Amino acid sequence: MVENNSIQNPLRIYKVIIPKKIYSKIFRIVKKRFPIEACGVLLGFINGHTARIEYIEELHNILRSTGAFWFDEKDWIKKILEGKRKGYRYLGLFHSHPREEALPSLSDRHRMLECPGEIWLIIAYKPGIDPSFTAWRVDNWESSITRLRVLVK
């Protein structure tokens, strides 16, 4: 079993709660970066099979792409450690898709396999269309992708 202070999430999350203020902060980042894919870290707490996002930090999309994202791994670790110092647990990543559907791309699915157990929150945004979002998780190489229930409260 992986310890609670590690980066990987050993627990199977089925539901994600996002406070309205956190969702608004994520959406502001996505809107500001459009049409480039925005990305960042999700931190918070896990209770049973439910994750609650309480803290986010934007990461710079080093690809500056409208169809892909990635970030400097040192910056990623730095943001995770900053959140942990504030008492939060690393939950996963958020990123945007500049289109109508918040579905994981093939490259998203490949990246998810590199980080089993992480939550991947995807926000679809195009001006003039209501944004949508979904959350996903892959547990290991043998498992399929799991869509998580997301509640904004």
Residue-wise pLDDT tens digits, 78-126: 999 999 999 999 999 999 999 888 999 888 888 888 888 899 999 999 9
- Is 133 a domain residue? yes
Q: Is the whole-model pTM more than 0.95?
A: no
Q: Pick from 74, 63, 52, 70: which is nearest to 111 by CA? A: 70
- Is 97 a domain residue? yes
Q: How far apart are CA 7 and CA 89, in angstroms?
A: 8
- Is 8 a domain residue? no
Number of compact structural domains in the chain:
1
**Which residue range is the domain that position 109 belongs to?**
15-152
List the structure tokens of 53.
Answer: 């996002």
Q: What is the DSSP letter of 67?
A: S
- Is 7 a domain residue? no
- Residue 117, C-beta contacts closer than 8 angstroms, at least 6 positions apart: 8, 9, 10, 11, 12, 13, 137, 138, 139
Radius of gyration of the chain (CA): 14
- Is 123 a domain residue? yes
Q: Which CATH number goes with the domain that contains 61?
A: 3.40.140.10
